[in-house]
A and B are shown apart, each in its own frame.
Chain A
Amino acid sequence: MTEVSYMHLPFDVRADLVAAQRRCWAHLAQPGTWHDGAKRLAISAEVRNARNCEYCAAQKDALSPNAVEGSHAGLGELSDAELDAIHRIAMDPARLGQAWYEENKAAGIGDEPYLELASIVAMVMIVDTFTYGLGLPDHPLPTPEDGEPSRYRSPGAKVEAAWVPITEPRDMSESDGDLYPSGRVGYIQRAISAVPDSKRAYWDLASCHYLQMEEIPRWDTDARAIDRTQIELIAGRVSALHQCLY
């Protein structure tokens, strides 16, 4: 089940990082809120496949991604709209827009299934980028588990501030579980709140790689082996190279 291992490295990887990546892999294999385990792993595989998609490369090089004719080279298990969503989020996220989002929605991806898909793309990108940075191949994806998605819809989710529905702290329901355990409610924390299980899984993984929530306001935190200015230098450079305005 846990194909995540760093035993072949000549040095140790933080135990909490390895544990978080293993929890992520286990999460991906399980039935989610809107997609079953097999589909979640098909989405994960497609994230990796997008790296070699010539259409994505052509879109990336074009002045506008819409100026390029063609189609994504997919693995064949997902709809065209899902394929486009995965490839665009993975390979050209800076030029996503609401019109694109609405087009894919009209093509059949619902708000919440899209959010779960986006969370999977983001989580696979985190784990794969980490291994790539250390010079390792991708971890094998896990084997899907049987079961049906819960299809839980957060009752308070609504479209207001973003393209996607958000469950604001004031609109949380008991059935959502603890959506904002740290008390941090920036928009990045709210982004996928309409799918509570995906939100929790994403932040469990992301916080282990960056900083735990309680460390973020501590500008002089010593929680990592590199200091805060070094952390933010890397963070800022990654964001700038992606031309992410957030």
Chain B
Amino acid sequence: MLRESSQTNDTDFDLTELTAGVTGAGDIPHAKLLGDFTDAVVKRDTGPLAKHRAALLKALGAAGLVDAAAVAAAFHGYVRLADATGIPYEHAGFGTDTSELRAEIGLDRFYASELDDRG
């Protein structure tokens, strides 16, 4: 979905940052702030989260912060529903999230404790 929305909006973003960490090198506005906020939410890293939330509030305003938190929250539900039911993933994202794409961004690698997900 990010690839399609980036293409439609003529925005450059290296998809490997989804697994490696968001650096903000691409064109997505405030990508680093959004990435830092998202990481802190997923890891329930309360100290850094307060700092990242304040930065996001300053950059995007209250409505932007609320929507960022809402999207992060929504995907805490989606991943659990998908993983808990064993649905096929070949047709996810309008069939755009192909196995090649998963390999390209490193999502296929063996379960990695360094991701440190405590969501």
Seen from chain A, the residues whose Cβ lies within 8 Å of a Cβ on chain B are 11-14, 17, 51, 60-61, 89-91, 93-98, 101, 115, 118-119, 121-123, 125-127, 129-130, 132-135, 161-164, 166, 186-188, 190-192, 202, 205-206, 208-210, 217, 219-220, 224-246
Contact = CB atoms under 8 A, between A and B. Distances in A.
A102 B55 CA distance: 45
Contacts of A220: 5, 8-9
A108 B64 CA distance: 44
B105 to A, nearest CB: 7
Q: Which of A93, A135, A163, A166 has the most CB of B within 10 A?
A: A93
A188 B73 contact: no
Contacts of A235: 1-2, 71, 74-75
Contacts of B77: 122-123, 125-126, 202, 205-206, 209
Contact of A188 (B2, B87, B117): B87
A219 B115 CA distance: 29
A126 B73 contact: yes
Contacts of B49: 132-133, 135
Contacts, number: 271
Contact residues of B: prevailing secondary structure: helix
Contacts of B8: 219-220, 228
A240 B107 contact: yes
B18 interface: yes
A208 B6 CA distance: 22
Contacts of A190: 87
Contacts of B83: 89, 93-94, 96, 242, 244, 246
A98 B70 contact: no
B12 to A, nearest CB: 10
Given A135-B50, A188-B78, A162 B67 contact: no
- Which are the 10 A-B pairs with shortest beta-carbon distances? A133-B69, A11-B62, A163-B86, A225-B63, A209-B74, A219-B8, A232-B2, A246-B82, A130-B73, A210-B74
A122 B69 contact: no
Contacts of B19: 240
A209 B71 contact: yes
Contact of B9 (A122, A129, A227): A227
